[in-house]
Chains A and B, each alone.
Chain A
């Protein structure tokens, strides 16, 4: 007799997790540093910082990629996270993962070192774009074609780990990691597959990546000390801190996991998603799309607000995001809001953008496992307008059975996940 959720759908469980962030590689190192309140944010050394308003980031510097490209780093980080996740799940055999891949990955484009390489190939000091174009062909740069295709990272993961079918690369901006998980959940619930690999990776700390967010005034400029820059829910917060990392989850139907004797690490009980059409980078001031997104996640899990006992916040530390997250959450949870411990991992690992939804889902599941909520560091001047019970500066032991993890992104992308320890 198959076990179903209260809506008659297959229950989706997590049987493997892998993670890399600026704190380190693997769950053990990440978790111990996270609950100790360590920051992975540091002054950028990968490229010159002269002339930049923001000079720090949560870069992953301990993974060498040569020659460096952001897409190449994304690929490496993705491999590391996926390898750890599959090893933990014990599913399939090496190079033969028995399900599809859903990959959240940053948009890809040719990067400045490659553009400069073309310019040097042209030679001279006065040239046009057509001159650049003329030296591209003939096979000399054929690897750049493969490298800078949008599907290249998924291709590489699919080849190495033997995922089945056409791997899906997706972007929903800062909600991408959550969307990858959602696609896996939906596929398992439809009965298309018993298992899915949901991964998310980000390696975008390069000069133009940083400048782009900087020009939108989205980044913190509190460069000194870098560890104190990311201040979610603080009155003196001034933007997010770009960061790199990857997270990967093996999702399985409960039945399939039990049948093969796999250890169940947690349950993805519900997913919600709702688009905000107010503005490209700002939330609707009434918070309705965020409210709707959270309500959809609760409805999908078949839960009442009072069943959520921790929120792993999107908590980017931009003035706008944290305010709107509070507006949305408090509208749904009402008086209960102040009784939910809330924390933002981004205070320590920064904003891993495309990877954030998966990275934070993994931290949420580790919170459930350890019954300990990681702190929001740099929480010294609470924003009086945000009346969350922020788990400030020190990790807190708590009885946690159900976590909501929020992700809100540019382009009106809102996604919320509800994760539990055991099947309901």
Chain B
């Protein structure tokens, strides 16, 4: 669509593709089945005492040419793989005409450090190597030249462009969890406002990273020793880093209808804010305000939350959930771990999948927060409150 177009009425936005490659497997069926069987893929040993959700291995070549894989680190491979699945799901793979004008917004952090290079340099320094040029010399000789490109935040989008040919526009949002909310908020606003027809939006996270454990351990955020569902972590709060790529294809209804694409669900609203978390109750209040901006009707509805298990934010969110008991709650964090920048995309993917299958997946714990839901949900609210900052919500509905 011509970006100069102006629309009087907001255009309806459909979710026409979902790509999921997570710790529970690749594709919609594998993830759906695991959610309903209650299977959780958690590693309590490999990073002990820290708990992470490892990525379920896939045949990468199904989505990423071998020579491109070599240029990427794991977080990029996970995301590029999931992006390819989303394009497949939307029936767009290889459709050069559409891909060449498809917009993309990626929520990203940064890529893996080379842990052995870092460790070796630090040990050498401790052993007395402290000439002025020591660090320079070691970095010049030890860093792989291409590692930088595997670490740069915007190079996940770059790799998706290279591997799948998504080359309309490319924007990368950073800022932990809420980057994912903002990515969908902007993509939705652009399509609804006639500035875009179709967009690939999502994120990627590799939880099997000690450099990330360091960052979050500074704030004592990592879940340690024993896995527990998000709602059962009050005594030992924290999150288990998760590994997932989650991408959605958002498309204007007219564009989807013109190419005969089937909607999985409708993305009706995405809202975000940043509570000043210095006061107790600030997050609960912000979530309430976001909720009232969504135009949520009465039940049957559900809430899929990205609650992290970190405190105090999880308790604040629970207070909010307590005000909406008519809605069945599901925690993506219990099932997949905390996938940070990808977490909101993951929640949206699960919501769209549930709408498209006419059922909410099974509850994931016995704390009483998650209860059985028999009816087909007509509306699902996706909630994301960041472990330290940023709150967001989205409304996913069935297409009428």
Residues of A within 8 A of B (CB): 7-9, 48-53, 105, 107-110, 112, 115-116, 118-120, 124-130, 132-133, 136-139, 141-146, 148-151, 154-155, 158-159, 165-173, 179, 183, 186-187, 189-190, 192, 207-208, 211-216, 273-281, 289, 296, 299-300, 302, 409-413
Contact = CB atoms under 8 A, between A and B. Distances in A.
B148 interface: yes
B274 A299 contact: no
Interface of B: 2-6, 50, 71, 104, 108-110, 113, 115, 118-119, 122-123, 125-127, 131-133, 135-137, 139-140, 143-145, 147-149, 151-155, 157-159, 161-162, 165-176, 178-179, 181-182, 185-186, 189-190, 193, 195, 210-211, 213-222, 272-274, 276, 388-392
Given A110-B214, A151-B178, A171-B153, A142 B219 contact: yes
B161 A277 contact: yes
B172 A145 contact: no
16 contacts: A50-B136, A110-B215, A125-B127, A127-B126, A132-B119, A133-B214, A133-B217, A146-B219, A150-B176, A169-B174, A190-B195, A211-B143, A215-B143, A277-B166, A302-B4, A412-B162
Given A129-B210, A187-B189, A278-B162, 12 more contacts: A53-B140, A129-B115, A145-B216, A145-B221, A150-B179, A166-B390, A172-B172, A192-B189, A207-B136, A215-B145, A275-B157, A299-B4
B131 A107 contact: no
A145 B217 CA distance: 8
B110 A150 contact: yes
A289 B274 contact: no
A139 B220 contact: yes
B186 A183 contact: yes
A280 B174 contact: no
B132 A136 contact: no
Given A136-B218, A212-B148, A413 B136 contact: no
Contact of B135 (A112, A120, A146): A112
A274 B104 CA distance: 11
Contacts of A300: 3-4
Contacts of B182: 166, 168
Contact of B272 (A138, A166, A169, A274): A166
A107 B4 contact: no
Contacts of B5: 7
A107 B136 contact: no
Q: Which of A108, A145, A146 has the most CB of B within 10 A?
A: A145
Contacts of A213: 148
Contact of A107 (B50, B127, B152): B152
Contact of A128 (B119, B144, B189, B222): B119
Contacts of A7: 4-6
B178 A166 contact: yes
Contact of B175 (A8, A128, A154, A296): A154
B151 to A, nearest CB: 7
Given A132-B214, A289-B167, A172 B162 contact: no
B110 A170 contact: no
A9 B162 CA distance: 34
B167 A151 contact: no
A51 B214 contact: no
Q: Which of A50, A132, A133, A149 has the most CB of B within 10 A?
A: A149
Contacts of B125: 116, 119
B145 A216 contact: yes
Nearest to A9: B6
Contacts of B166: 275, 277
Contacts of B104: 275
Q: Decide if the interface of chain B is mainly helix, strand, loop or mixed.
A: mixed
Given A128-B119, A130-B210, A52 B140 contact: yes
B173 A169 contact: yes
A179 B167 CA distance: 16
Given A133-B213, A300-B4, A165 B152 contact: no
A190 B189 contact: yes
B43 to A, nearest CB: 15
B109 to A, nearest CB: 6
B167 A277 contact: yes
A127 B123 contact: yes
B355 to A, nearest CB: 25
A133 B210 contact: yes
Nearest to B194: A190
A180 to B, nearest CB: 10
Given A169-B173, A171-B154, A171-B172, A9 B220 contact: no
B190 A274 contact: no
A412 B2 contact: no
3 shortest interchain CB distances as A-B pairs: A50-B133, A411-B158, A151-B175
Given A166-B273, A168-B173, A51 B133 contact: yes
Nearest to B148: A212
Contacts of A52: 133, 136, 140
A127 B219 CA distance: 22
B154 A173 contact: yes
Nearest to A415: B169
Contacts of B389: 149, 151, 155
Given A171-B154, A172-B171, A207-B139, A279 B162 contact: yes
A166 B181 contact: yes
Contact of B110 (A109, A136, A169, A413): A109
A165 B273 contact: yes
Nearest to B109: A150
B388 A129 contact: no
A306 B44 CA distance: 65
B218 A167 contact: no
A146 B210 contact: no
Contacts of B392: 166
A108 B110 CA distance: 7
A109 B147 CA distance: 14
A115 B140 contact: no
B113 to A, nearest CB: 8
B149 A410 contact: yes
B187 to A, nearest CB: 11
A120 B182 CA distance: 39
A408 B309 CA distance: 41
B201 to A, nearest CB: 14
B315 to A, nearest CB: 19
Contacts of A275: 104, 157, 161, 166-170
A115 B122 contact: yes
A133 B389 CA distance: 23
Contacts of B178: 151, 166
Contact of B154 (A132, A296, A411): A411
A293 to B, nearest CB: 9
Contacts of A190: 189-190, 193, 195
A23 B114 CA distance: 36
Nearest to A211: B139
Contacts of A127: 119, 122-123, 126
Given A108-B110, A145-B215, A173 B4 contact: no
A107 B218 contact: no
Nearest to B128: A125
Contact of B137 (A51, A110, A148, A167): A51
Nearest to B390: A166
Contact of B133 (A8, A48, A208, A409): A48
